[in-house]
Structure 1
């Protein structure tokens, strides 16, 4: 498990390109036959992925000092690969591409498998500290809350599918979902915002080899950018804007945790403020 420490905005504005990427970009999440994970000191989120050829069991590692991974944690999972299964304490759930799961605190055995090794599942997960056990739930995107925002004229026409949020799938603090831009749209969340009460993580998807996203971050008056490619993730501190502009339409999985679960608790940033 890789460890990432928290960073001050006073320091980040002096970072080089390489240092920005080292601190906030996660490049190699999906590795065939492995579970990878990055533990961030920013609200103690763990970002990870499992790409099983044979069955892979989720283990805690020394870093979280627990008997099992979800002893004091909860997690959300979204499959972005071929069909696969997740077995939770003996109960098996089949996940097609873009199906998700919420797995509550206290689940002792979590095992990832693929239906076909030639087209393995790609399970992306976010895990947060938890204080209460909520039920484990198989999430199908067609049953989720969906919101359509933006317009083609503003190059930001997009659909937000909310997988884990209060009133739909209950959790202690994790909120998670998927945003997909419509063809011809390239901007996500512009005008942008911050939310000091929650950090956020993005996994960028649906990008071809010859396309990329400029992920904008930093304080509104000290913006920076990170070039992101397909199936790479960005850790976004609560003090930072988080906006993307692609060379073509793309999708991304977002996960948030922190002080509250209010999706609309945002501090808007006017275009005139950005620098």
Structure 2
């Protein structure tokens, strides 16, 4: 089993204004995920979120100790969310086994010990520090909360599917779900917002091989962009907007960690204030 880890340090807004394209990508873009037979993790210093992937490719991969956490096992003082974007696969945690179909999410509570991934799943993994243990829970698509928003006329007709959300599955601080766009709709999270109380990370997927999403980030009056391909992730600092437009419809997984677990806790930015 191959475990690859990297660390991303926090960048302040003034420094971010000085970064060129390559430097922006070095700090915020996450590529090279979902490699067969590997677990790939990124430890972010924004709210200590870990994001990554596990692709057992028909075999078995076990996620246990991660040096960056300084604990005997990754879940000793953490919780975890696992999204399967591949075919059906199995996750073993806390002495139990859970089969995840495509698009389903497993919440794994603090203290569950090692986590093992098996089968044909392509697992997107998120983990945040936790202060108490909640029950490990498999959330089926039918159990998730669906919020339909937007319109075809504004190219943002979409459904937000909430999994780790106070009305669906209790967690300490990790919020998680994904947003799917109707055919012909391409804009996400616009009008833009920030939430300085928590960071966010996006995984863009179900994007055609030649398709791209132009992810917008930065302070509202100092916006920048990062070009994203299929199954690539981006880290969004608490001070940054997080929005974008694609060359076709797509899906993105959003995850947040920080002080608030209120999904609607946002500081909205007027369109006229963006630069």
* In structure 2, distance between residues paired with 1:108 and 1:249: 38
* In structure 2, distance between residues paired with 1:211 and 1:109: 36
Which one of 25, 28, 34 corresponds to residue 29 of structure 2? 25
Report if aligned partners of 2:200, 2:238 keep a CA contact under 8 Å in 1: yes
What residue number does 1:72 align with? 77
1:272 counterpart SS class: helix
1:94 maps to 2:94: no
What residue number does 1:37 align with? 41
How many equivalent residue pairs? 270
1:153 counterpart SS class: helix
* In structure 2, distance between residues paired with 1:154 and 1:17: 29
* In structure 1, distance between residues paired with 2:176 and 2:190: 20
* In structure 2, distance between residues paired with 1:40 and 1:226: 18
* In structure 1, distance between residues paired with 2:36 and 2:21: 28
CA shift at 1:61, angstroms? Answer: 2.1
What residue number does 2:248 align with? 248
CA shift at 1:187, angstroms? Answer: 0.2
Q: Which runs of 4+ in 1 moved over 4 A?
A: none
Residue by residue, what CA displacement relative to the aligned partner does 1:56-102 show, whole Å, maximum 9, x if unpaired?
11022221111111000001110000110001132111111101100
CA shift at 1:29, angstroms? Answer: 1.3
1:191 counterpart SS class: coil
Matches within 5 A, 1:154-193: 154-193=154-193
1:160 counterpart SS class: strand
C-alpha RMSD of the superposition: 0.7
What residue number does 2:63 align with? 58
Matches within 5 A, 1:196-211: 196-211=196-211
CA shift at 1:182, angstroms? Answer: 0.5
In structure 1, stretches of 5+ residues that fail to align are 115-119
1:202 counterpart SS class: strand
1:183 counterpart SS class: coil
CA shift at 1:110, angstroms? Answer: 1.0
* In structure 1, distance between residues paired with 2:95 and 2:270: 50
In structure 2, stretches of 5+ residues that fail to align are none
Between 1:74-83 and 1:56-65, the stretch displaced more is 56-65
Between 1:58-67 and 1:35-44, the stretch displaced more is 58-67
What residue number does 1:273 align with? 273
What residue number does 1:117 align with? none
* In structure 2, distance between residues paired with 1:274 and 1:109: 44
Which one of 3, 15, 38 corresponds to residue 19 of structure 2? 15
Normalising by structure 2, we get a TM-score of: 0.97
